Amino acid sequence: AAMREERIKKTKTVCTYCGVGCSFDIWTKGRKVLKVEPNAEAPANGISTCVKGKFGWDFVNSEDRLTKPLIREGDVFREAEWDEALDLIAEKMSAIKEESGPHALGFISSSKCTNEESYLMQKLARGVIGTNNIDNCSRYCQSPATMGLFRTVGYGGDSGSITDIEKAGMVLIIGSNTAESHPVLATRVKRSHKLKGQKLVVSDLREHEMAQRADLFVKPNPSSDLVWLSAVTKYIIDQGWADREFIDNQVNGYDEYCKSLEEYTLEYAEQVTGISKEDMIQIAEMIRDSDSLAVLWAMGVTQQLGGSDTSTAISNLLLVTGNYTRPGCGSYPLRGHNNVQGASDFGSMPDRMPGYEKVADPDVRAKYSEAWGSEVPEHPGLNNHDMVDAMHDGTLRALYIKGEEMALVDSNVNYVRAGFEKLDFFVVQDIFFSKTAEYADVILPASPSLEKEGTFTNTERRFQRLYQVLEPLGESKPDWQIIMDVANKLGAEWKYEHPSEIMEEAAKLAPLFAGVRYDLLEGYNSLQWPVREDGTDTPLLFTDGFPFPDKKARLFPVKWTTPLEYEDKYDIHVNNGRLLEHFHEGNLTYRSKGISSKTPSVFLEVSTELAKERRLTSGTEVRLISPYGQVVVRCHVTDRVKGKEVYLPMNDMGNAAINLLTSSYADKDTDTPAYKDIMVKMEVVEER
């Protein structure tokens, strides 16, 4: 074994960080990651990677890795054997189900885990426990985009591939810090803009890199994008620039939609959004003059109080201008996590089975009930937002979270943590002793992507295989094995020997993935859903019409939701998002030396105006106080933000964690928290 460990091994994997889905070869010797070698065959990234994919792997050998199951005893945890931990889980979950029924239990899947693991988690919830209380973190990010697309075009995914974005005549980026959040994808846009004459318009609160590069940058007031989008669409229609042929042949609801736009005049939009009429007219003219428009958007849109409606307004604009069905056109909601697309695709949602078939459909339930040999419940499930309330009111008694740092990444975390304390039984399955794990009764040690096989689906709906690079550390196990062990302790008889068998089962049941097979995904091969039974995939959506009975898309009227009202003393708006070097709360990147030494902590971006008014300089420590909590952080004075708008990166695991400030208010259609709608007051922390 020692000899074998000395050999250098080269294995293909898929990045564990963002939704771009870069794949590459990873060189290892024993457990040491020697280097990451890009491969021209990689479909999403070719030879590009960003700093996280290249240098962000030390965490797999971190001393903080969990290597044994842990069981709570009073205020401390003790190590346990797997059998003991699994027996305890089965005993407690069965007892709670017996006493309070299956809906007293909830399950949360992980966007870091594989498609196969997401499938198994929802099968455990539905098929073994008998509840639809299953969700994943797309509830925190992209559910509103999915909702906007379901309403208008029928599929909740990017319209085409990253290479299609390169072909667009015009790219409109709204509420996305693309250069830092989706770096490799941003490189493609930068290149097309610089070398191929692609037009670039950016709308954001903050003048980030893409904004600086843009032909036109507009800065709307917080949470007002729906208004300028609707005004631009109305102006296009009024000028006679709508694509009538496309609308007549492929779109329903045009007249009613036009009526709904009446109030969205340029004058009204200028007043609400702060964007000048001239700029809106310029955007409309640029759209008119471009042969194709791709709109890229992210959390700056979806995490508004009206995130679903704003996403819908984007899709409406694309339909009115005939910007679907061709390369270079369409909707590109940029998925955050490496597998946030797949977590929803494979049914970790309270109302959708794998492939987005509805739980409410009796035929769909019958199909799964027959395949699994147990009844899929009809009762609609709780999403993760509902689950927090249900912990507080005592109706949710047990929770099983896999790889989700809910105690830091959900909004209003003080409320979430208080909810955890009310649970009768709490299982956390993770690779680290996370903040969430502090509240658990049993902690199960899982394996990160490098220690397992499976598939991830990136933002382009692209399935890619990851191959096992390392053995699981200590007694940790791949999540699919742990879920199977838990299910079997609860009486199931699952016998999967490899994730390919799980995919085989899912593909048989979910028509969207009918032709997905591991042999078609060998090496750098990939497939983009929908995948027909014969293995033909769909890089560009809607070329055969839209997935509605009459094959036509639908214009969907929407109304602007005004931002939350705060008392006057909360006079500063806190925008939030990512830094290039760190990923989300930072459990992985702060444990990767190369990265954390470069950017050891977050800082608060404040404008020069605010700095002058409050006598702040870079380095001043301030306390931000919202109605829900407070954070302490050092300032960085910059021109990127303006006036009383500040920017706090979300990458902090301690006293500067953004969600100590956020509220429990959420988008009415999806319950996605309004993370971007925070007002605070600011105090300078006195030097001690």
Q: Which of 183, 336, 577, 649 binds ligand SF4 (CB under 6 A)?
A: 183
Stretch that binds ligand SF4, among 43-51, 193-201, 502-510, 603-611 (CB under 6 A): 43-51
Between residues 182 and 219, which has the closer beta carbon with respect to ligand SF4? 182
Q: Which of 12, 13, 20, 628 binds ligand SF4 (CB under 6 A)?
A: 20
Binding status of residue 526 toward ligand SF4 by CB under 6 A: no
Residue 471 C-alpha from the chain's centroid: 28
The alpha carbon torsion through 369, 374, 379, 382 (nearest 10 deg) reads -100
Binding status of residue 449 toward ligand SF4 by CB under 6 A: no
Distance CA 163, CA 123 (A): 35
For tokens 């050092």, the residue is 634
Q: Which of 12, 22, 143, 176 binds ligand SF4 (CB under 6 A)?
A: 22
Between residues 50 and 376, which has the closer beta carbon with respect to ligand SF4? 50
Residue 185 C-alpha from the chain's centroid: 16
Between residues 21 and 499, which has the closer beta carbon with respect to ligand SF4? 21
What letter would DSSP give residue 18? B
Q: Is the separation of the CB atoms in 680 and 661 below 8 Å?
A: yes
The amino acid at residue 170 is M
- How far is the first Cα of the chain from the last one, in angstroms, to the nearest whole number? 56
Stretch that binds ligand SF4, among 14-22, 117-125, 529-537, 655-663 (CB under 6 A): 14-22
The structure tokens listed for 621 are 């420590």
Between residues 50 and 450, which has the closer beta carbon with respect to ligand SF4? 50
Q: Binders of ligand SF4 among 375-414, rule CB under 6 A?
A: none
Distance CA 352, CA 134 (A): 10
For tokens 């003991």, the residue is 84
Between residues 158 and 270, which has the closer beta carbon with respect to ligand SF4? 158
Number of residues located near ligand SF4, criterion CB under 6 A: 13
For tokens 């085409």, the residue is 160
> Closest distance between ligand SF4 and the C-beta of residue 492, in Å?
34
Q: Which of 12, 13, 15, 439 binds ligand SF4 (CB under 6 A)?
A: 15
Between residues 22 and 86, which has the closer beta carbon with respect to ligand SF4? 22
Between residues 462 and 640, which has the closer beta carbon with respect to ligand SF4? 462
Binding status of residue 456 toward ligand SF4 by CB under 6 A: no
Between residues 338 and 672, which has the closer beta carbon with respect to ligand SF4? 338
Within 13 Å of residue 633, how many CA atoms lie on the same side as its CB?
31
Could you tell me the strand order of the sheet in which 199-203 lies? Answer: 216-218, 199-203, 170-174, 293-297, 330-333
Between residues 130 and 448, which has the closer beta carbon with respect to ligand SF4? 448
The alpha carbon torsion through 45, 49, 52, 57 (nearest 10 deg) reads 90
Binding status of residue 17 toward ligand SF4 by CB under 6 A: yes
> Closest distance between ligand SF4 and the C-beta of residue 145, in Å?
18
**Biggest alpha carbon–alpha carbon distance for the chain:** 75
Q: Is the separation of the CB atoms in 634 and 687 below 8 Å?
A: no
Q: Is the separation of the CB atoms in 621 and 632 below 8 Å?
A: yes
> Closest distance between ligand SF4 and the C-beta of residue 541, in Å?
22
Stretch that binds ligand SF4, among 44-52, 89-97, 227-235, 363-371 (CB under 6 A): 44-52
Distance CA 109, CA 89 (A): 17
Between residues 228 and 332, which has the closer beta carbon with respect to ligand SF4? 332
User: CB count, 10 Å around CB of 46?
Assistant: 18
The structure tokens listed for 603 are 């800082």
Distance CA 43, CA 458 (A): 11
Q: Which of 42, 184, 399, 558 binds ligand SF4 (CB under 6 A)?
A: 184
> Closest distance between ligand SF4 and the C-beta of residue 532, in Å?
27
Between residues 22 and 553, which has the closer beta carbon with respect to ligand SF4? 22
The amino acid at residue 130 is G
- What is each CA distance from 111 to 56, 138, 339, 511, 516, in whole angstroms? 18, 8, 5, 22, 20
Q: Binders of ligand SF4 among 281-340, rule CB under 6 A?
A: none
Between residues 17 and 518, which has the closer beta carbon with respect to ligand SF4? 17
> Closest distance between ligand SF4 and the C-beta of residue 426, in Å?
31
> Closest distance between ligand SF4 and the C-beta of residue 565, in Å?
37
Nearest residue by C-beta to ligand SF4? 53
Q: Binders of ligand SF4 among 45-64, rule CB under 6 A?
A: 45, 49-50, 52-53
Q: Considering only CA atoms, which of 663, 655, 615 is closest in space to residue 635?
A: 615
Q: Interface with ligand SF4 by CB under 6 A: which residues? A: 15, 17-18, 20-22, 45, 49-50, 52-53, 183-184
